[in-house]
Structure 1
Amino acid sequence: MSNIIIFVSNLKKRKITMPTIYCNSSGLGSLLNELNQGLKIGDGVKLKINLDQDINYYDGYFVYHGFEVENMIKQKKKLIVDILKDRSLSPIADKKYSWFIKLPRTGKRGKRIFVYKLRTMQPYSEYMQDFIIKKNGLNDDGTIKNDFRVTKIGKFLRKYWLDELPMIFNLINRDVKLIGFRPLSDAMLKKYPKNFVSIRNRYKPGLIPPYYIDKPKSFDELIKSEKRYIAKYRKNGVLTDIIYFFKFLNTSLLKGVRSS
């Protein structure tokens, strides 16, 4: 590995089991590709990274390159992180992100659909979802607690549902309907009871979910909210969606209640 300084001296005395590698953030992608090729699964290194360019997506970036983050200390101009090789990959290039994104979700009958949204998170955030759900848990409405991946602009977009405007394309494509439970990622569906997932998959997801109206106080109440919607939808789908739509206008727009 060229232009890389490795510090491995006196490991037993300092109780360090990982070699230490110094590098600049501008060359981090190339370094991680080299490490993934050279290390065995389970091997680890400590990286001391000089932040010579402004990058704020390291958490998911390491996962993208096949590593698990064991420990991370972020400072103003330096990042210290312990990583373990989690899987073997061929050398990969950095991804390019734009404001307009499409996310894989589960649709009717378990079909894979792609939901269009405005990006509200840091780049590579999708690679951290499983980890953050396990670590932080979920809010009452099924969103992730203390989700540090969301940017300041992203919080504003979410508060006023602006990030969901591109889902109109999904509405036009008939991937979703106006009212219905949200299309979820695989990681989120794992939190649901398996028997309910099979029931949930029988129906087309929607743009405006029942919890916007019911305002559940726990994840269990969120599931009950979706079950109530399904029970009513089975009896009269069109009428149920009309009632939920006007309830949404009343609770979320006229009363000024916004998305979390």
Structure 2
Amino acid sequence: MSPTGVAFQKQVDALLNELSDCIGFCHQIRETRRLGSKHENFDNLVSYLLASHTSLSTKYDTLRECFGHRMDVGDEASVASMSKCLRAVSSDIKKKLYEIANKTVQTVGARQLSGFSTLLQHWKLIESDASSIIISLSQRLIITPPVSTPVPSPTPSLKQGSQLRSNQQVVSKSDFDFLISHVQNSWIERWSNEQLIYVNYQDDKNRTYQKPDGFIKTVPTSYRPARTEGLIGSKSSHDGLNERERRSHAYTGSNGSRREEYRRQ
């Protein structure tokens, strides 16, 4: 039996909000802490969190276009599993970054602030679980007919077709396989060390500097890569984005409390 309301959609939105908060704390750490000359682990964490926000958001939106309201509702298995991901992000990743961002003692010299590498490894596990939960739900929806769909009876096909809701559509197995293939052959264009790099959104470890075949989400023509000492993105280049893309950026001010919104093309 499926949960009432749009429980799964709310969980996905909550996960993306938690991730945006984590990115905001990273901006605050960069602004208010002395990271020292060595901060590769911190840079890797920030870069991965930004890529994860885009990847999870795109994956959910793509599958929702296929399965409509049923993807928003989810089922008991998906809701229960996603709850564990939310608790893990809130109690570990977000909590730790908040504590680092609000410490009064700052780090000086070449030593790195501790914990960023561990946080990155933990987040990778959480993201992998969340991605699998979304994919697994869509696969169950293929073989599970909507609750409102009646048992097929010898009635005219026109009448049967009228039973489908306006926000639902039938997806064949071949169409779904094509969709998954498209997802696996999609790439996100990003700046890395002032060079363009292409990251496969299905597998973030699959990266190339050569422009690959397939669908590519390009960076805005007005975008310029931020320097190491600056923040990622700018407020003026993100006007008009949809709500979920804006959540991926955090405005940062002199007090480090405002966050800039992240843009997804």
TM-score (norm 2): 0.20
Higher share of residues assigned strand: 1
Larger radius of gyration: 1
Q: TM-score, normalised by structure 1?
A: 0.20
Between Structure 1 and Structure 2, the one with more helix by share is 2
Q: Work out which structure has the larger RCO, using CA pairs closer than 8 Å and 6 or more positions apart in sequence.
A: 2
